[in-house]
C-alpha cells in the first residue's frame, strides 16, 4: 500500500512538474531602459522574485540609462539585456517570448519563424500599437494574429479590437497593466474648504493626454473659485504651446510646470495633492490610451480622479464613485467636475477610499503576476 501511494505521489509530481518549475522568459521591447515604462520593470522584478524565473531582455533600441532606477540596479538588468535588430542567440533557450507592444510581437514572430523556434510567443497590446499603428497600416498584425500563441490586451476595448481583426477569441485574454500598491500608501487627507486645492496631472505633454483641455477648463474654474493650483508633471512636444496657453489665459499664478521628474518624487506629489486629472482623448492620428497607470497610482494614494470615457478608463474609474468621467474634449464638463470636487471635500474623501479599494482589488501587481504565470504555464501545457 505504501509503495502504491509512493508511486501515485510520484506520478502526480511528474504530471505537475511543468507547473512549478521556473520559466525561461525573454522580455522583448522596443527601447530599454525606458523610465516611463515602470510597468515592465515591475513585472520583471516580480517574476524574478516569484518562482525565480530566469528573465532576460532583448531591446531593439537603446534607451536612456538612469543610475537612480533601483530595479535596474538591484536586478542587474543591463547585464541581462541584448540589443539589435535581431536577438543574437537561440530562441529555443526560452519557454516564453514575452513581447511588449504589437509591433514588437510582429518583429519577433519573423525571427521565431526563421529559427523554427518552439518558444511560445506572447504579445501585449497597450495603446499606440493597436490604435495609431492600425491607422497607418490596417494589416499590421495579420500574420501575428494568425500565428501568435497568446495576446494580452490591457483592456476590454482592445480585446474586442483584436477579435474584430481576426484573432482567435480563445487566444485573447485581458490582462490589466498593474502597479505595485506597496509603493503607494493610502493617505487620509485633512480636507478643509479654506485650504487651497492642489490638482495634479502626470503625463507626457502630447495631444492624447488632454492637458490643453484641463488648462482651458481651469480658466473657467478660476472665474468662480480662485482657491486652486494646478501642477503639471511631465514633458513633451506640446510643452511650449501649453505654457503659451497658460500665459494667454492669465493663469500664471495658478499653474506650475515641473517637467520630468523621478518616479519617487511623483509619489510624493500625489501624496500631497487633493485630486488628479487626466482627460485622455483620441489623437488626430488615432492614438489612444489603454488605462493610464498614473490614474491607478493616484487612486492608490487615495486621490479622487477626473478623466474621460476613453478606451479602457471606465474599467478603472467608476463615475460618481471613485471619480468623475466626462466625454472627450468636454471642457465645460471638466470645469464642472473640478468645481464640484473643490466645493465638496467629503466627496473627495469618499472617492479616495473607493479608488484605493478598486486598485488593490483589480490592478495590484501582487494579484496579477500569479495570473500571468498561470497563462504561461497553461500555454506550455497545451
* CATH code, 71: 3.40.50.2000
Q: Which grid coordinates belong to 375? A: 497563462
Indicate the DSSP class of residue 69: -
57 shares a domain with 81: yes
144 shares a domain with 86: yes
In a domain, 161, yes or no: yes
In a domain, 5, yes or no: no
Number of H helices, E strands in the chain: 14, 12
Question: For the CA atoms of 245, 249, 253, 259, what is the dihedral angle to 10 degrees?
Answer: -10
45 shares a domain with 169: yes
198 shares a domain with 174: no
In a domain, 356, yes or no: yes
In a domain, 61, yes or no: yes
Distance CA 233, CA 359 (A): 22
In DSSP notation, 177-203 reads --B-GGGS--------TTSPEEEEEES
Q: Which grid coordinates belong to 223? A: 472665474
258 shares a domain with 187: yes
The pLDDT of residue 247 is 98
Q: Is the peptide bond before 47 cis (omega within 30 degrees of 0)?
A: no
The pLDDT of residue 2 is 33
In a domain, 319, yes or no: yes
340 shares a domain with 194: yes
In a domain, 62, yes or no: yes
Can you state the angle between helices 365-381 and 38-50, rounded to 10 degrees?
70
Structural domain for 281, as ranges? 181-362
331 shares a domain with 194: yes
In a domain, 14, yes or no: no
pLDDT tens, the chain, 382 aa long: 333 333 332 333 343 444 578 999 999 999 999 877 888 999 999 999 987 899 999 999 998 876 557 889 899 999 999 999 999 999 999 999 999 999 999 999 999 999 999 999 999 999 999 999 998 999 999 999 999 999 999 999 999 999 999 999 999 999 999 999 998 999 888 766 667 899 999 999 999 999 999 999 999 999 999 999 999 999 999 999 999 999 999 999 999 999 998 888 899 999 999 999 999 999 888 889 999 999 999 999 999 999 999 999 999 999 999 999 999 999 999 999 999 999 999 999 999 999 999 999 999 999 999 999 999 999 999 7
The pLDDT of residue 174 is 97
Q: Which grid coordinates belong to 320? A: 460618481
197 shares a domain with 61: no
In a domain, 8, yes or no: no
Indicate the DSSP class of residue 331: H
The pLDDT of residue 193 is 65
Q: How many domains does the chain have?
A: 2
> 322 with 351: CB under 8 angstroms?
yes
153 shares a domain with 293: no
305 shares a domain with 205: yes
Q: Which grid coordinates belong to 225? A: 473659485
> 111 with 26: CB under 8 angstroms?
no
Kindly report the pTM of this predicted structure. 0.87
What is the spatial order of strands in the sheet that 24-32 belongs to?
81-83, 54-62, 24-32, 96-100, 120-125, 150-153
149 shares a domain with 113: yes
Distance CA 91, CA 119 (A): 7
314 shares a domain with 224: yes
Amino acid at each position: 500500500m505504501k509503495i502504491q501511494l509512493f508511486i501515485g505521489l510520484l506520478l502526480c509530481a511528474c504530471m505537475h512538474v511543468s507547473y512549478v518549475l521556473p520559466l525561461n522568459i525573454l522580455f522583448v521591447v522596443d527601447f530599454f531602459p525606458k523610465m516611463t515604462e515602470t510597468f515592465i520593470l515591475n513585472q520583471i522584478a516580480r517574476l524574478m522574485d516569484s518562482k525565480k524565473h530566469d528573465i532576460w531582455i532583448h531591446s531593439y533600441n537603446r534607451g536612456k540609462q538612469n543610475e537612480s532606477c533601483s530595479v535596474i540596479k538591484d536586478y542587474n538588468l543591463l547585464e541581462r539585456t541584448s540589443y539589435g535588430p535581431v536577438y543574437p542567440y537561440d530562441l529555443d533557450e526560452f519557454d516564453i517570448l514575452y513581447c511588449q507592444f504589437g509591433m514588437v510581437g510582429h518583429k519577433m514572430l519573423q525571427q521565431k519563424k526563421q529559427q523554427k523556434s518552439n518558444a511560445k510567443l506572447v504579445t501585449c497590446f497597450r495603446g499606440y500599437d493597436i490604435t495609431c499603428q492600425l491607422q497607418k497600416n490596417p494589416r499590421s498584425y495579420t500574420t501575428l494574429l494568425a500565428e501568435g500563441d497568446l495576446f494580452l490586451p490591457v483592456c476590454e476595448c482592445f480585446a474586442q479590437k483584436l477579435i474584430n481583426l481576426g484573432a482567435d477569441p480563445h487566444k485573447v485574454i485581458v490582462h490589466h497593466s498593474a502597479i505595485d500598491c506597496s509603493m503607494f500608501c493610502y493617505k487620509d487627507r485633512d480636507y478643509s474648504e479654506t485650504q487651497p486645492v492642489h490638482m495634479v496631472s502626470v503625463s507626457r505633454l502630447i495631444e492624447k493626454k488632454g492637458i490643453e483641455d484641463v488648462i482651458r477648463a481651469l480658466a473657467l474654474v478660476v472665474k468662480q473659485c480662485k482657491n486652486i493650483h494646478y501642477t503639471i508633471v511631465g514633458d513633451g512636444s506640446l510643452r511650449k504651446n501649453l505654457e503659451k496657453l497658460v500665459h494667454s489665459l492669465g493663469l500664471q499664478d495658478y499653474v506650475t510646470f515641473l517637467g520630468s521628474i523621478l518616479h519617487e518624487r511623483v509619489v510624493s506629489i500625489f501624496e500631497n495633492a487633493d485630486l488628479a486629472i487626466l482627460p485622455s482623448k483620441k489623437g488626430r492620428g488615432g492614438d489612444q490610451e489603454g488605462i493610464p497607470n498614473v490614474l491607478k497610482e493616484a487612486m492608490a494614494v487615495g486621490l479622487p480622479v477626473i478623466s474621460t470615457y476613453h478606451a479602457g478608463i471606465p474599467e478603472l474609474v467608476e463615475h460618481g464613485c471613485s471619480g468623475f468621467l466626462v466625454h472627450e474634449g468636454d471642457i465645460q464638463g471638466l470645469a464642472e467636475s473640478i468645481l464640484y470636487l473643490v466645493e465638496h471635500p467629503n466627496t473627495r474623501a469618499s472617492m479616495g477610499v473607493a479608488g484605493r479599494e478598486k486598485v488593490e482589488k483589480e490592478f495590484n501587481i501582487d494579484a496579477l503576476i500569479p495570473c500571468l504565470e498561470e497563462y504561461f504555464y497553461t500555454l506550455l501545457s497545451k
